[in-house]
Amino acid sequence: MVKTREWVSTLEVWNPHELSVEDRALLAEAHVAASKAYAPYSEFYVGGAVRLADGNIVRGSNQENMAYPSGMCGERVAVFAAGAQHPGVTMMAVAIVSPSEKAISEAFMPCGGCRQVLVEAERRQGSPIRVLLQVRDEEVAISSSAVNLVPFAFEAFGLGGTGTNGREG
């Protein structure tokens, strides 16, 4: 019998003015982080901000390096810094933004490596991390979980973790 696998991913798209005060504040922190990015090669500036369960916000920005791929994406810097500086504290949400003119709202998404880092952070803490995505001051795409952003993530089909969006039939 032939089996099929299907992945359904859904993002909510919000007008930024309709977001909660908490989400707008997290996006603002990510924009501050993006202003500190080091991106002389791509000129694609990205900021990330992680809101922790204890109320702390941890920022990160992309840091490029001439010895590609030695740089690091903004959201990964923020997630790793949150894990290093606040071990064991649940990550509730991460905002990822880019003020860059090169960024396109409909296509703005974390790279595959960053998506997998977010999924593993969810798996480790045993709860979802909301992901907010924004280009400049445009609409905000929101995922209720990082797993929602990773088709066929390592744990999506029983390899350990909390992935539930993948279906086998």
Q: Which residues are catalytic?
A: 75
Q: In what order do the strands lie in the sheet with 91-98?
A: 12-14, 140-143, 130-135, 91-98, 47-52, 57-61
The alpha carbon of 134 is separated from its chain's Cα centroid by a whole number of angstroms, namely 11
The alpha carbon of 17 is separated from its chain's Cα centroid by a whole number of angstroms, namely 21
CA distances for 67 relative to 70, 71, 98, 128, 143, angstroms: 6, 8, 23, 34, 33
Give the span between the Cα atoms of 151 and 45, in whole angstroms: 25
Give the span between the Cα atoms of 2 and 89, in whole angstroms: 43
